[in-house]
Amino acid sequence: MRFGVVTLFPEWVEQVTSVGVLDKANRQGLISVTGFNPRDHATDNHRSVDERPFGGGPGMLMQISTTEAAIKDARSALPDAPVVYLSPQGRRLDQALVAELARLPELILLAGRYEGVDERLVDAEVDLEVSLGDYVLSGGELGAMVMIDAISRMVPGVLGDQASAEQDSFAAHWLDCPHYTKPVEYRENTVPEVLRSGHHGRIEAWRLRQSLERSWDRRPDLFERKRLDTTELSMINEHLSTLEKASTTRDGKDDEEPDY
């Protein structure tokens, strides 16, 4: 998978392959990240890459000519790549979109600064607008790096064992179960017995139950579109009965203040 990033900070973005699994994947030739800088195409004495917006107001926009030239550079290097624009107006990134994009051989990410890119340049050059979530960043670079990380780990061979990738596809549907390591006793708390039982069937069932219960408690929205099989359904029903009992016996003290 080859990534091109149109950015005023190419050295920074390229650093995404300097550590961990992405460093290894880069060294193995499984992925590459190349920056394309609009400033390389600036012609005035100040090498400016920004421009004032029509209609006035505070803030600047990416200058069309230098941004377009950097996109052209990226397209010459990555001729088959669609162009993705990182912006708060985009389609929300999730694991399903990550998996879809990981099937491509090449991807160009457009990371805007200032107040973003002229809408006509977006219409002419951008295939897909993507958002990381409902918050504002100083630029699209961190979004581009998040996408490069998430997509790269879905590229065959990047993650050591195939089991990790399968874990991830499960994680796309449900929250992960809790994990434990040594020591067995830590700050008065003991590792759940079942995880030390060596009984693989019961361990898998426990992990599934934990995932479903945590998803139900913390992310009820995950149940809106997902169909449950009979095992999942009975686990959730049992959790509901447990919650029901707890709410009728408890004194209510523990729901006065959130403790995050």
Binding region for ligand 4G4 (CB under 6 A) = 86-88, 112, 115-116, 131-133, 135-137, 139-140, 143
- Asked if 119 is an active-site residue, the reply is no
26 or 67: CB nearest ligand 4G4: 67
Quote the CA–CA distance of 97 and 217 in Å, as a whole number.
25
CB of 127 to ligand 4G4, least distance (A): 16
In the complex, least distance from residue 111 CB atom to ligand 4G4, rounded to whole angstroms: 7
Active site residue 40: no
Which parts of the chain fold into alpha helices (H)? 10-14, 20-27, 64-77, 95-101, 119-125, 141-152, 162-171, 200-218, 230-249
2, 53, 88, 176: which is the annotated catalytic residue? Answer: 88
Q: Which of 129, 168, 207, 214 is catalytic?
A: 168
**Whose CB is nearest to ligand 4G4?**
116
Q: How many CB atoms lie within 10 A of CB 177?
A: 18
Give the residue with the Cβ less far from ligand 4G4, 129 or 176: 129
- Kindly list the distances between the CA atom of residue 77 and the CA atoms of 16, 106, 256, in Å, as whole numbers in the listed order: 19, 10, 58
Phi, psi at 216, each rounded to 5°: -60, -45
- Residue closer to ligand 4G4, measured from CB, 145 or 212: 145
**In 3-state terms, what secondary structure has residue 152?**
helix
Known catalytic membership, residue 115: yes
With respect to ligand 4G4, which residue has the nearer C-beta, 58 or 220?
A: 58
153 classed as catalytic: yes
